Amino acid sequence: MKFKLVLMLLVGFVVSTSCEKEQVNSEFNTAEKETSVTTEKLAPRPFFNKSKDILIAQFDNKPDADDIHSLAAFGCMLRHSDLRGIKHFGVQGAYGTQGGKFIDATSLFKKVFGSKWVDAKKNRNRAVNRIKNVVRPILNSNGKVWVQEAGQSTITKLWIKKLIDEGVPPSKIKSNVIVVQHSKWNERHTKRADLNYVKNKATYRPIDDGNAGFGNGPDRGPNTPSYRTVNKSFLKKAKNSRNRFAREYWREADKIIKASGFNASHSSIPKGGVDFSDCVENYWIFNTKKANSIANFWKRYVTN
C-alpha cells in the first residue's frame, strides 16, 4: 500500500513537473517573441533625410474629425523652415474596416498639398497606382519612404504589394519603407492579414498614442506628447493667427467639420477644442522636439 502511494506521488510529481515545463516553455516562447518585437522597436532609428526621403501622409477621415485637424496642423508644419522643401504626398480616404461617416476634406487637401495628393475614397485603384509611382523613384535612389498612418494599413499593404509584384526587391521595401502608427484603434480596424503583411514587408514603428501625454496610456514605443485638448483658446488663436497659411488651414478645417455635422461625444472637437493627435507621427518622424506640447506646437507652427 505504501509502495502504491509512493508510486502515485512520484507519477503526480512527474506529470506536474512536465506541465510546469510546458507552461514555462510557452511563457518563454511568448516572452521571446515579445522581446524580439521590443528589440526591433528599440533599435536605433533612422532620421528623415530632406535630400532624398519622402513622407506619404495617409488620412482615413472616417469617422472622426481628428484627421481634419491633423491635416491643418501638418499643413502648418510644411510651411515652416523645419519641413520646407521636403518631398511629400497626401492620401485622403486611407481607411480600413471601420464604419461611420466619411468626412470629405477635398478643399483642405488642395490647400495643403496642391496637386500632390490622391483621393483613395473616390478611386482606390488609381490611388494605389499613384502612390506606387511616387514612391518607386525614391526607392530607386535609395531614399526612404516614411508613411504617416493617420488611418489604417489597408492601402499601405496594397501599394507595397504592387511595388513587390512589379519587381522592387522585398529587402529594399523592408529597409526603406518605414510605417509609423500611433493608434491601436487604427490597427484593430485593419484586417489582420493586411496589418501582418505590412509589419512583415516594411519597417513598422509603433509609437505612443497622441491622445495621451508623455508616459500616459499603453507603452507602444517612443514617447509622444498629447495633441488633444478641450481648451478652446487654441482653435481661436489658429483661426485668427497672423500666419496666413495657418489661419487659412484652420478656418477651412473648422468649416469642413461643422458642415459634416460631426458631434461625437468622445471628441474634444465639438467642445471647441483641438485634436491633431495623428501629428505625433510627424513629431517622431521629423524629430521635432520643440513641439513637445500643444502650446509649443502652436508657438512654432501656428501662431508664428
Per-residue pLDDT tens over the stretch 53-98: 999 999 999 999 999 999 999 999 999 999 999 999 999 999 999 9
Domain that holds residue 225: 54-302
What's the pLDDT score for residue 124?
A: 98
Q: Is residue 4 part of a domain?
A: no
Q: Is residue 87 part of a domain?
A: yes
More confident residue, 38 or 68: 68
**Burial zone of 118 (CB within 10 Å; 0-12 exposed, 13-18 middle, 19+ buried):** buried
Which of the four pLDDT bands, split at 50, 70 and 90, describes residue 199?
Answer: very high
Q: What is the pLDDT of residues 238-248, one digit of tens each?
A: 999 999 999 99
Q: Is residue 19 part of a domain?
A: no
- Dihedral (CA of 127, 133, 134, 139) sign: positive
What's the pLDDT score for residue 249?
A: 99
Which of the four pLDDT bands, split at 50, 70 and 90, describes residue 42?
Answer: low
User: What number of other Cβ atoms are within 10 A of residue 267's Cβ?
Assistant: 18
Mean pLDDT computed over 119-141? 99
Q: Hey, what long-range contacts does 209-217 have (CB within 8 A, 24 or more apart)? A: 209/182, 209/183, 209/184, 209/277, 209/280, 210/182, 210/183, 210/276, 210/277, 210/278, 210/279, 210/280, 210/281, 210/283, 211/275, 211/277, 214/292
Q: Is residue 26 part of a domain?
A: no
Site of grid cell 467639420: 257
- The domain total for the chain is 1
Phi-psi label, residue 142: left if phi above 0, alpha if psi -120 to 50, beta otherwise? left
- Is 233 strand, coil or helix? helix
Q: Is residue 201 part of a domain?
A: yes
CATH number, domain of 177, equals 3.90.245
* pLDDT higher than threshold 80 for residue 226: yes
Q: Is residue 25 part of a domain?
A: no
Q: Is residue 44 part of a domain?
A: no
* pLDDT higher than threshold 80 for residue 35: no
Instruction: Name the H helices within 57-183.
Output: 66-78, 106-113, 124-140, 154-165, 170-176
Q: Is residue 113 part of a domain?
A: yes
pTM: 0.85
Average confidence score pLDDT of the chain: 89
Mean pLDDT computed over 166-194? 98
